[in-house]
Structure 1
Amino acid sequence: MSTQPKKWIQAEIESLDPEIDYVRIWQLSSCYDSSEFMSNLMYALTFPNFVVTEWGSTAVWREDGGKVVERATSRVEQTQSTNSLWWWYGPHDERTKKSVDGINRLHAYWAKQYPGMFSYNDDYIYVCAFSAVLLHRFRLRLGLPGVSEKEKIASHKFWGELSKLFRSENDMPLHGYPEDFDGCLRFCEEYETAPKPKPERGNLIASAIYEQFVFRYFPEELHWLGHQLIRSLALPTTLETMQIDPPLPMAKEILPKLVGFILWYKDTYEDDPPRSYIEMREAMSQEQRRAVMDSIRKLDKQFPAHFASLYKDDPKFAGCPFHAALPSYEGEIEFKPSVTVRDIEAVVSGDVGVAKAG
């Protein structure tokens, strides 16, 4: 005897007022039914879009890759934990405010070394607008229906409120967040299609982020498939700006449909999860957190040599000083942040991050 899957998330969303209950609607639409694999994939599909400018790629890559190479999987973990904290507690909660203040302080720290590169208001607005429309655009890319009207209103309002917490360089408040969801879509499309130089550091950042995902989740003989998956789902404008080859035509046709089918099946035939990702994270014991952190640190130690072996002498970028300057790492190498950066990062990810286990 078959039973209907237990579906409660959409029912609750439909019972709420998006003008008032936008935090709860955002929680319901974004904080459930996640996994480490999917979170890492979304990170790989998201972050390169934010550093397509010359100044953005310079501030992130710096001289030798910084964290995207030296602590590649730790960076994913911290981003994932931070997003989970903001998404669950919302823009008015003190935990979110404390976390975003940490982001502002981290940017201020790096702005002292790279002055002017954290001063572009539209870069911050793009991050917020992109985040507001991310789920909608991703579902459409997979051939699925977009989000509901209530979710559109709630996501626009949620990220509008969150944008008020961020500061650009010299503690400047942001301005120009779009007036509605459609405005967020237009802002993103205009930002993404605006003519841009093709920063060589940007190629290295995107390559490192894509390679981290593939290195973590795919056996070596299937690394090509992992890269095709990312490229088939990534923004074509980002691939072009970052000088990443587009996906193979067959991959572009098949892989989004395959991912779409998997999500459709889950939406249709599986129970909605009873607990959110952050609730499961915060319930982890110290031993569980330590085990996850140990596995992340192991990946961090292995990744620099792996990445350098593939990209240091990339013939496509012969003569590029940044590719040539990539150190020739050998074996397992452990990099640790400065005390200042470490302390700020701990504030940013709050009690969600597994790094709390030490």
Structure 2
Amino acid sequence: MPTRTEQSSAKPRVEDRSSRRWIRRRLGQLDPRKDFAEIFRLNTVFQVNGFMSDWVGAQTMPRFATTPSAPAIYRGGKGKLMLTSDRRLHDTGNHALVWAEYGLDAPQSKHSVDMVNALHTKYAQEYPDAFDDPEPWIYVLGYEICGVYMILNDYLGYPLPDEKSRTAAVLFGKKLAEMVVMDDGRFLTEIISGMDDWDDWVAVVREYESRIWPYSHEAAMCAAAAIGNFQKRFPGPLRPFGRALVTSFWYEGMYPGAGVERPGRLMRWAATAFMKSLMAVAPLLPDSKESWAEKQQRLYAEKGRPMAHVLKVTQGAAGAGTGGCPVGFGRGTATGSDASGPKEG
């Protein structure tokens, strides 16, 4: 049945989601240069499930925290990742899902980015050394564009997106860069020259992840929190396997930086086989009829289930509150209803 959704406050969209493969059909109708936001949305917010969301978060946070941003995330043991790791990791991913769900021109997304920029402003003042190098900013943007796809392709043999989806991801990422403010007041897009192709961003991620990071107590504590949060999905005897499901897919230079040993060959094989089986099943299932936000809102209305914090507080330009930072470092100036100042992120 056709379903009316909102990409922005000005342009409602009607989608026919009645067929088993409605997403594939709709993608075939779109132009990546003109419709990149919708393509990005179709490739993300209809693919979310709890396990993969937690797995991606457990892959992402240690990567960001192994860099010079670790002190700003750890914050002497008082960062939200240390105190409420589940909330921190979910807020991180949910900011990105808000951007994908509504499009970057929508008030929900603008409010979300304002929240992130405000948090960056606050912690850049306390941890300036974690914010003044532009390279991590570029790496994080590259990771947002193609990093998870690279992990799935490199370690699991999962196919990369088609050319249309790759083009859309790059354009979406570059538009996001126009909104993120760095510690020196420049927008992130101002330090990016060219970088118009998927392969350019793959090269950025490859180069950054070719480094061997020296041990850092802060990075070790952040990685331990992210891994531990994922392990909670498993009963006690299986928690070492849960740990291997995270650390088997790290790049080589992360292990010394986080003080973590690479899993043994048998555990890596088991972790890889498990993830391959999940990824093999996913394409066989019918396309979801609900996006991430639609499902959250339905469960809230029907069962009173708490809505994701970031989704709740970014509903329209009048939303209130703050959420977690999606990249772990940076600086900006909040606008709108949250400009009075950021809370703990």
TM-score bracket for this pair, using the shorter chain length: 0.7 to 0.9
Question: Which of 289, 293, 305 is equivalent to 1:274?
Answer: 289
The residue correspondences of 1:127-276 to structure 2 (distance < 5 A) are: 127-140=140-153, 141-174=155-188, 175-176=191-192, 178-215=195-232, 217-268=233-284, 270-276=285-291
Contact 1:105–1:344, Cα closer than 8 Å, also in 2: no
Q: Shift in Å at residue 172 of structure 1?
A: 2.3
1:100 maps to which residue? 113
Q: In the alignment, which residue of structure 2 is the partner of 1:57?
A: 70
Residues 254/115 of structure 1: CA separation in 2 closer, same or farther (3 Å cut): same
Q: Hey, which of these two has a bigger chunk of helix by percent? A: 1
- Match of residue 89 from structure 2: 76
Hey, which bits of structure 1, 4+ residues long, moved more than 6 A? none
CA distance in 2, matches of 1:195, 1:250: 24
Deviation at 1:29, TM superposition (A): 0.9
TM-score, normalised to structure 1, is: 0.76
- Structure 1: tracts of 5 or more residues without a match: 294-341, 349-358
Map of 2:26 onto structure 1: 12
Task: Report the identity percentage.
Answer: 23
**SS where residue 63 of structure 1 aligns?**
helix
1:23: how far off?
Answer: 0.6
Shift of 1:195: 4.6
1:195 and 1:263 map into 2 onto residues whose CA distance is 29
**Cα pair distance change 1:291/1:90, threshold 3 Å:** closer
What whole-Å deviation, never above 9, does each CA across 1:209-262 have from its counterpart, x for those lacking one?
A: 1011102x1111211110011112233332332221112212222322331222
Over 3 Å counting, the alpha-carbon distance change for 1:37 and 1:164 in structure 2 is same
> After the TM superposition, which of the residue ranges 37-46 and 79-88 deviates more from structure 2?
79-88
Question: Equivalents in 2 of 1:292, 1:14: separation in Å?
Answer: 31
Residue 300 of structure 2, aligned match among 285, 293, 318: 285
- How far is 1:345 from its partner? 2.5
Q: Tell me the matched-pair count.
A: 294
Matched with 1:344 is 322
SS in 1 for 2:69: helix
Shift of 1:288: 2.8
Structure 2 unaligned residues grouped into runs of 5+: 1-18, 310-319, 327-345
In structure 1, C-alpha distance between the alignment counterparts of 2:45 and 2:307, rounded to whole Å: 23
Question: Equivalent residue for 1:120?
Answer: 133
Distance in 2 between residues matched to 1:21 and 1:292, nearest whole Å: 27
Distance in 1 separating the partners of 2:325 and 2:265: 44
- Partner secondary structure for residue 236 of structure 1: coil
**Amino acid of the residue matched to residue 273 of structure 1?**
S
1:91 aligned onto 2:104: yes
AA partner of residue 19 (structure 1): R
SS at match of 1:155: helix
> Deviations for 1:45-93, whole angstroms, at most 9, x for unmatched residues?
011111222x311111121252112111111221232121011112222
Is this contact kept in 2: 1:99–1:347, CA < 8 A?
no
Contact 2:116 2:324 in 1 (8 A): no
